[in-house]
Structure 1
Amino acid sequence: MGCGTSFVKYVLFFFNLLFALIGIAMVGIGVAVVLNWQVVKDASRGLNVAPWLFIVIGAVVFLISFFGCCGAIRESHCMVVTYAIFLIVIIIVEVILAVCIFVYADSIKHALKTGMDRSFEEGRSLNPNPFHQIERQLSCCGKTGPIDYNVQAVANLPPECCDQGSQVCSIVNAYSTGCTTRMLDYYDKSHKVIAGITIGVACVEVIGALFALCLANSIRNMDRRSRY
């Protein structure tokens, strides 16, 4: 195996090692969200898909990267080609996902608003109210603010609407931002960044796929030469 092929081999190995670690990190983040935000996800319904999707994507990234590492080190033509095919499929999915985030940004934002508003209204008839856990997690109060609780007295807001150190929660010291507003602000700040990172990762993976195909071609040529 020539110097150039050896270089491609080790670059591909470390490339996949990096993505294997990224996959493990994604699984860890998804598990952490599932464990720590279970009540919030139960209240916000459709949002509970996100951490599980993160876990699945992280596991797939890890498995494919592990496959690429083994194929590169063992110089297996079949494993490297299979890895390249999987990587190309992932690239296509990532590009589609990023485009959907840009194209359907308003629809996703509307769905988030509808889900949060519904959770607030339905939670008012439940005891305990699961929406209060959203208020505690996001440091917010009501849908658009404390006024959603129709405050009539000095102190009749749920304690989650105020800082945990507050003795009495009233409209005076309650969080002024509503949970729906807070969630939409998070989405506005993050969805373009997420889409951009997805496109960036896809571009890096294109390089990895090209390296994998070059290595596979080199391994095949070596096998052919070894037969003569």
Structure 2
Amino acid sequence: MSMIGCVGSLGKNILLLSNLFFVLAGVALIGLGVATELPVLWVSDLFDDSQIIQLAPIVAIVAGCVVFTISFFGCCGVIKESQCMLVIYAFFMILLAVLKVTLCTLIIIKHDDFFDGLSRLLTESFIDDPLDFQNIERIFVCCGPLGPVSYLNATLPDSCCFRPVCTILNAYKGCNKVIENFFYAVGLATIIISAIVAAFEFLAAVISCCVANYIRIKGRQRLY
């Protein structure tokens, strides 16, 4: 039985360390969501028609908060040696892992449609109201949907350049490409973080069940 005790103790330590990782991953997801939400919030009037752009940062923030909360719950289960808490923790870990795999799959599947819609949205916003579009240029440091050529040789606004006297020679790149690169980096970071966290969540669920079983056996020993 000493071997079982050794394995159980090792499982508890691994579970505590893995939950520390989940806490940090939850904070990372929250930070990623906030980093995406702020630019979108500043130009929310132009993104009213895009639910994906509006909801994606919020989903990341909520997911981060859920991961953080459940990880804290798991730590309490290990410290208190509560079999019930550990089993519930394992269930939620598996559920979260499945949701993250689904999220990664949706991002990959909807990748092309999202960027096609984003380019179309930016072009329409520029045509409908060039003055409001300058807010996007200031936030994302870009110029017109396709670059300074989008202004058709008209005077470029100051938002298109770093210096007040704005010309084609010192103008920023097109907003379509700049914003696509921004969301591509965010999407890639989301996929990587979600995939790594999902793998650890599956592993944590297995270890949690093992520790719960160890606690059950330990409890039976005390009865005899």
Q: What's the TM-score once normalised by structure 1's chain length?
A: 0.85
Alignment match of 1:121 (pick from 121, 124, 127) = 127
Alignment match of 1:48 (pick from 54, 78, 82) = 54
Alignment match of 2:110 (pick from 84, 99, 104) = 104
Whole-Å Cα distance in 2 between the matches of residues 207 and 44 of structure 1?
39
Once the two structures are superposed, what CA deviation does each residue of 1:143-178 show, in whole Å capped at 9, x if it has no partner? 1111212224xxx21111001xx1311223211x21
Contact 2:32 2:186 (8 Å CA) reproduced: no
Q: What one-letter code is carried by the residue in structure 1 that aligns with 2:19?
A: N
Deviates more, 1:215-224 or 1:193-202: 193-202
Q: Structure 1 pair 48/201, CA: closer, same or farther in 2 (3 Å)?
A: same
Q: What one-letter code is carried by the residue in structure 2 that aligns with 1:136?
A: R
Q: What residue number does 1:83 align with? A: 89
Unaligned 5+ segments in structure 1 are none
Q: What residue number does 1:18 align with? A: 21
Q: What one-letter code is carried by the residue in structure 1 that aligns with 2:61?
A: I
Q: What residue number does 2:76 align with? A: 70
Contact 2:40 2:47 (8 Å CA) reproduced: no
Q: What residue number does 1:160 align with? A: 159
1:210 aligns with 2:206: yes
Q: What one-letter code is carried by the residue in structure 2 that aligns with 1:141?
A: C
Alignment match of 1:142 (pick from 138, 141, 144) = 144
Structure with the larger RCO, 1 or 2 (CA within 8 Å, 6+ apart): 2
Coordinate RMSD, CA, aligned: 2.2
Once the two structures are superposed, what CA deviation does each residue of 1:28-74 show, in whole Å capped at 9, x if it has no partner? 44345545653134433332323222211111011010011100111
1:171 aligns with 2:168: yes
Unaligned 5+ segments in structure 2 are none
Q: Which runs of 4+ in 1 moved over 6 A?
A: none
Whole-Å Cα distance in 2 between the matches of residues 160 and 116 of structure 1?
16
Whole-Å Cα distance in 2 between the matches of residues 193 and 66 of structure 1?
24
Deviates more, 1:67-76 or 1:135-144: 135-144
Q: What's the TM-score once normalised by structure 2's chain length?
A: 0.86
Aligned residues: 218
Q: What one-letter code is carried by the residue in structure 2 that aligns with 1:122?
A: D
